[in-house]
Chain A
């Protein structure tokens, strides 16, 4: 994303200051020059004072003294003007410095706020993960206990059923850990940007997910335009984003539900919208791992300079991702 930021003329943290090659610093600054002029003027005033004293002392005609007075007055006015200008300039420079310091401080504070927000998000996510992992562990421990009892006298079928449940719970933990790892990778992803044909990617992935969702009794309706401009982004991460949207739908929409995937161009951006209509479903499940999926989608949108919105409502949900086109559009 650094490359994208540079192409857009944005400042990238860590970059050296923008200095044009061949440009050298002047020998004297403007302030030095003003000081030199003021110093010369003061010397001149003193010299003219000495001349005036000489004129009065030697008794030269009064006209000569008048010219000396006028010259000294003019010089004093220029000196006063220069002093006032120099003072104003110094004040202005100080304001400029303070404004720069304030901007830097604002940038640092904004960065700290962003990191704090990210840490808080990770803490909440870790807490959620701990909860999600402890639940299947809880179930495993209880089923192991039950299995120990069943081995004594229960029929083999009962023992096999218990073992199958244990295997399901272990698989659930495995999925959680995998999703967590994937999320940690996408939290600080290595971005390799390039032009991406999002329409082709969406068509390919929606065909794949339509079949998978159909098997679980869920209908996928994709409303894709005939043309979408190319995005400048990471093809792998964008594919991951679309896959996570599909997985999220598969996990959270009960049989009988309908999922809508829409894409549209809006104001130099592409908007993806995943909505579920579960009016016919008994409930919308908040499956384990959904928190992680939403976090991955949000992070991929974020590193592309985009936005993420979600709405949960009775019997459905809506996820909206806006991705700026970048320079490939």
Chain B
């Protein structure tokens, strides 16, 4: 089962996305702060990291940097209310695969994950 790290400070959205991804067969770890996500990435790898950008404390750019540095093979996707912002550009520069705008069309995320991660069996890490 592919493992996904989900990061968003908006807990209501986080729980809904967590449930949807689990219903689609992913193993999901949800964290509501960038700082907690970076700490988790330091000790554990994921097949994909899906992160919000604007968060108090460590923001999404720092999560992208940590994910790409510590786990270069991981797929990194960013969800943001401002896809054209300098922060989004910075996230792409650091290796985010795609910027997905809020409100999220779930099909877009699901398709991206299925295409990039392939089947649901086994884990990269």
Contact = CB atoms under 8 A, between A and B. Distances in A.
Interface in B95-125: 102-106
Interface stretch (B12-20, B35-43, B69-77): B12-20
A78 B82 CA distance: 79
A149 B22 CA distance: 12
Contacts of B10: 135-136, 138-139
B82 A142 contact: no
Contacts of A286: 56
Contact of B102 (A135, A149, A165, A168): A135
A169 B82 CA distance: 20
B54 interface: yes
Contacts of B20: 142, 145-146, 149
A262 interface: no
A125 to B, nearest CB: 15
A130 B81 contact: yes
A114 interface: no
Contact of A141 (B54, B56, B81, B103): B103
Contacts of A134: 81, 102-103
A138 B13 CA distance: 7
A131 interface: yes
Contacts of A145: 16, 20, 106
A142 B81 contact: no
A168 B103 contact: no
A99 B60 CA distance: 54
A286 B20 CA distance: 28
Contact of A146 (B16, B54, B103, B104): B16
Contacts of B23: 146, 149
Contacts of A212: none
Contacts of A142: 13, 16-17, 20, 104, 106
A165 B16 CA distance: 10
**Sorted from nearest, which 8 A-B pairs have the closest CB atoms?**
A142-B16, A139-B13, A134-B81, A138-B102, A139-B12, A141-B103, A137-B103, A138-B103
Interface of A: 127, 130-131, 134-143, 145-146, 149, 165, 168-169, 286
Interface of B: 10, 12-13, 16-17, 19-20, 23, 54, 56, 79, 81-82, 102-106
